[in-house]
Amino acid sequence: MKDFTILVGGQAGQGSRKAGLVIAKILNNLGYRIFIYDDYQSLIKGGHSFSKVRASFKKVLSQEEEVNFLLALDEETLKRHLKEIKDDKFIIFNADKIKSEKGIGINIETIAKEEGGSPIMANTAIISAFAKMVGIDFSLLKNVFEKEFKKGLDINLKIAERVYGEVEEKIKIEKLENKPLPLITGNEALALGAVKAGLEMYYAYPMTPATSILHFLAERKLGVETIQLENEISVIIAAIGSAYAGKRSMVGTSGGGFALMTEGISLATISETPVVIVNSQRSGPATGVPTYSGQSDLNFVLNAGHGDIVKFTIAPSNADECYYWGGKILNLAFKYQTPAVLLIDKEISESTFNLEIKEDVSKEEALLSGKGEDYKRYEFSENGISPLAFPGKEAIVKATSYEHDEFGLTAEESEEEIVLMQEKRLRKFEAMQEEVDNMENAINVYGKKDSKNVLFTFGSSTGPVVEVAEKFDLKVIQLVVLEPFPELQVLEEIENAEQIICVEQNALGQLSSLLAKNGIEANELILKYSSRVFQKQEIEDLLKEII
């Protein structure tokens, strides 16, 4: 068994997410490549939560519908997911709460209590039961526990050892030759990438699913000042202020918070202030389904801000891409002195992946000015980029929300100056377009490269689409840079295409609209807007009808 899925579930507060992560770390130590999807309701306690841990001999970026092992902390988990299990002998359930003729029942809460632990330590018991069932040596389990349980380690080990001795081995999961790789969420990966590119200030008002970026940066000594403010308007304005002062700044939010930031995006555009906004999408509009995923902010982000806006919009699809683009987008924002949006979603933000850095990122310096008193903040140039200076003793640096001349003085009486400055900013967009045209990774191409059937996708939909395309011998184009649109690369890849299919998680086909805007018409759309992520089987079934 070299590719399998474990589902561990229970009520919020029972520790199913922690159990899934610990199991993943055990399997990671055995050389398996990991992808964890966490599903939870917007509740502190109760409801139904579960983690699906897919482990494979090769890199995985999607989940299977069927599961090989089901670990149930409560009855609801067994009821909901029993139909997904391939073989019911690989069910482990909490016999203190569940009565079932199928699988293995263990009184995990009773054992936890008898060993001096609390009810939540039942998740320790179920981890240990799984480890014994699949033939994992207790020494590896102990090593992972010592890293994961700083509090109550002795009690957790006592619980684990007792349960381990009571369960029979049913199958042996073999150790692979792959080396373990770091396990990391998309939010953590993009934060680390931004740090590598010189991030100094991070502002946020907590909003799922972007909140963990704030927590991750605040908990670690990475040289980043983290500040939580009272709302998203304050967040974007404070970040613009920091960037004006020379600090590399980033903010994080979801769709509702991004809505409050749009006037700030216009301010950053006209003042030519570099700032990065992470928008992690959830299902909307309004509060929508706050702990679930979607891709319905695409049109909104591309059109955010009033007036003629010049910005980057980039959509990574996994932790590796989040790491690279989390840094690259910060460099691009400072190079072109413009706002930039990193567009992700809940599945990317909160899912856990192996991080495999194939292309590292580092800080790239912006075009800095050496002028003093005669400094022109908005000096005209061929490519629209003005040498950048920051407030201090060397220069007077003006920034304004009004249209202005080269020094930053208001220019509302002169039509000529207004036109010249607007055209200066548009020349920046031309330079940004040229940069994208020369990027090798503005798009990613997968599957059968000469197939005449082409699937377009972006963000978290990419993983399942790629795995399905490999099965059907189709070509996949993942749009990574969305704005400026990578037209040259896309047109080259679809030159011989006869059928174009868009796969995306929204109801309006927003990616297909972006393609149409750039002269590319999709023949078919595969859409999902239930707030749950794509499963491979869903895409397969629909493709069978289309192709």
Cβ–Cβ under 8 Å, residues 93 and 125: no
Residues 6+ apart with CB under 8 A from 365: none
Burial annotation 255-278 (CB, 10 A radius, 16+ → b, else e): bbbbbbbbbbbbbbbbbbbbbbbb
Q: Return the H-helix or E-strand segment holding 237.
A: helix 232-244
Residue 372 has pLDDT above 80, yes or no: no
142-184 pLDDT per residue, tens: 999 999 998 899 999 999 999 999 999 999 999 999 999 999 9
Would you state the pLDDT for residue 390? Answer: 92
Residues 6+ apart with CB under 8 A from 171: 1, 90, 133, 134, 135
Q: For residue 391, which phi and psi values (nearest 5 degrees)?
A: -55, 140
430-444 pLDDT per residue, tens: 999 999 999 999 999
Read off the pLDDT band of 188 (50, 70, 90): very high
Would you state the pLDDT for residue 442? Answer: 98
Would you state the pLDDT for residue 344? Answer: 98
Rounded to whole angstroms, how far apart are CA atoms 322 and 342?
9
Would you state the pLDDT for residue 392? Answer: 83
292-319 pLDDT per residue, tens: 999 999 999 999 999 999 999 999 999 9
Rounded to whole angstroms, how far apart are CA atoms 347 and 174?
29
Domains and CATH numbers, the chain: 3-166 (3.40.920.10), 183-354 (3.40.50.970), 443-546 (3.40.50.920)
End-to-end CA distance of the chain: 32
Listing DSSP states for 193-210 in one string gives HHHHTT--EEEE---TTT
Across the chain, what does the average pLDDT equal? Answer: 95
Average pLDDT over residues 464-493: 96
Percent of the chain whose pLDDT exceeds 90: 92
Would you state the pLDDT for residue 490? Answer: 98
Strands 481-483 and 312-314: antiparallel
Q: Return the H-helix or E-strand segment holding 299.
A: helix 298-302
Q: Within the chain, how many helices (H) and strands (E) appear?
A: 18, 20
Listing DSSP states for 514-539 in one string gives HHHHTT---SEEEE--SSSPPPHHHH
Q: Return the H-helix or E-strand segment holding 344.
A: strand 339-345
Residues 6+ apart with CB under 8 A from 526: 501, 502, 503, 504, 539, 542, 543, 546
Choice between 374 and 186, residue whose per-residue pLDDT is larger: 186
Rounded to whole angstroms, how far apart are CA atoms 264 and 205?
15
Q: Which of 226, 234, 237 is nearest to 275 (CA)?
A: 237
Average pLDDT over residues 215-221: 97
The residue type at 237: I
Read off the pLDDT band of 386 (50, 70, 90): very high
Residue 373 has pLDDT above 80, yes or no: no
Tokens matching residue 523: 């023949």
Read off the pLDDT band of 370 (50, 70, 90): confident
Rounded to whole angstroms, how far apart are CA atoms 347 and 296?
14
Rounded to whole angstroms, how far apart are CA atoms 544 and 547?
6
Q: Which of 345, 338, 343, 256 is nearest to 302 (CA)?
A: 343
Rounded to whole angstroms, how far apart are CA atoms 356 and 349?
17
Rounded to whole angstroms, how far apart are CA atoms 433 and 227?
33
Question: Cis (ω within 30 of 0) for the bond into 209?
Answer: yes
Residue 371 has pLDDT above 80, yes or no: no
320-368 pLDDT per residue, tens: 999 999 999 999 999 999 999 999 999 999 999 999 998 899 999 998 8
Cβ–Cβ under 8 Å, residues 391 and 413: no
Tokens matching residue 89: 């002998």
Residue 230 has pLDDT above 80, yes or no: yes
